[in-house]
């Protein structure tokens, strides 16, 4: 009777040991953690400044899509203009990063204080970004047809919101009529001129 009892205990201990070993080995259990989030993720932050907006992006290095929880504050010249706590961003990946966009006003300084968390609350990114620069010609979103010309007088501004620089010898260009600050050439010190025999926006 004692032999059977000890044999039963040995078999039971072996079963427990094998189950524990299988659980610890990498495999199906080594995949995403809670909420489909990989166990270890690093985020890269970046900012983009346009004439009418500022965008902060946070890109994970993990393959595949996952959901993340984000707390953030956006400050303009030290004053909070936007914030969120516990906002869920779904389907985030290297090709679809977390993106926070705010309206840009003048040459203000913008600061983003952001915390990115997994579903279990573990922090994956906690940092601050500050951007402050004046708009440049690279931000200008007007259009140049580069129509033929011999002088500035043969170039004219067209389009519904005057965002097109074209030759007077061309047919008028049709555009949509929404206004964007980046259409304003004066903001960037640009004019519709004849450059290298082509009508184009130039400083």
The tens place of each residue's pLDDT in the chain, 203 residues long, gives 556 666 666 767 777 776 665 554 443 333 444 445 555 789 999 888 877 888 999 999 988 899 999 999 999 989 999 999 999 999 999 999 999 999 988 778 899 999 999 988 899 999 999 887 666 666 788 999 999 999 999 999 999 989 999 999 999 998 888 888 788 888 788 899 999 999 999 98
pLDDT for 30 equals 38
Q: What is the rounded distance in angstroms from the CA atom of residue 180 to the CA atom of residue 135?
A: 14
Nearest 10 degrees: Cα torsion 11, 12, 13, 15: 90
Domain for residue 173, yes or no? yes
pLDDT for 29 equals 37
Which one of 99, 131, 163 terminates a domain? Answer: 131
pLDDT for 113 equals 96
The pTM score is 0.52
Q: Between the CA of residue 46 and those of 38, 54, 73, 89, what are the distances in Å?
A: 22, 11, 16, 17
pLDDT for 75 equals 94
Looking at the fold, whether 38 and 127 belong to one and the same domain comes out as yes
Which one of 95, 111, 131 terminates a domain? Answer: 131
Looking at the fold, whether 116 and 184 belong to one and the same domain comes out as no
Q: How many domains does the chain have?
A: 2
Looking at the fold, whether 53 and 111 belong to one and the same domain comes out as yes
pLDDT for 134 equals 60
Domain for residue 24, yes or no? no
Looking at the fold, whether 153 and 175 belong to one and the same domain comes out as yes
Provide DSSP, 75-124.
Answer: EETTEEEEEEEEEEEEEE-SSS-EEEEEE--TT--EEEEEEEE-TTS-EE
Q: Between the CA of residue 42 and those of 29, 62, 123, what are the distances in Å?
A: 21, 8, 10
Range of the domain at 151: 137-202
Nearest 10 degrees: Cα torsion 138, 140, 143, 147: -60
Q: What CATH number corresponds to the domain at position 94?
A: 2.60.40.10
Buried b (16+ CB within 10 A) or exposed e, 93-107: eeeebbebebebeee
Looking at the fold, whether 151 and 122 belong to one and the same domain comes out as no
Start-end of H helices in the chain? 2-24
Looking at the fold, whether 147 and 126 belong to one and the same domain comes out as no
């Amino acid at each position: 009777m004692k032999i059977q009892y000890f044999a039963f205990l040995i078999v039971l201990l072996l079963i427990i040991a094998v189950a524990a070993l299988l659980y610890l080995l990498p495999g199906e259990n080594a995949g995403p953690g809670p909420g489909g989030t990989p166990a270890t993720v690093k985020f890269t932050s970046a900012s983009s400044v346009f004439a009418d907006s500022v965008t902060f992006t946070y890109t994970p290095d993990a393959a595949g899509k996952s959901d993340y929880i984000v707390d953030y504050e956006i400050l303009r010249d030290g004053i909070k203009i936007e914030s969120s706590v516990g906002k869920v961003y779904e389907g985030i990946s290297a090709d679809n990063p977390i993106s926070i966009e705010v309206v840009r006003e003048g040459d203000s300084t913008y600061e983003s204080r952001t915390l990115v968390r997994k579903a279990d609350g573990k922090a994956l990114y906690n940092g601050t970004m500050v951007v402050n620069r004046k708009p440049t010609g690279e931000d200008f979103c007007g259009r140049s047809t580069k129509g033929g010309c011999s002088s500035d007088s043969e170039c004219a501004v067209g389009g519904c919101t005057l965002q097109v620089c074209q030759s007077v010898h061309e047919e008028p260009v049709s555009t949509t009529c929404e206004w964007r600050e980046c259409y304003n050439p004066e903001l960037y010190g640009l004019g519709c001129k004849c450059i290298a025999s082509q009508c184009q926006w130039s400083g």
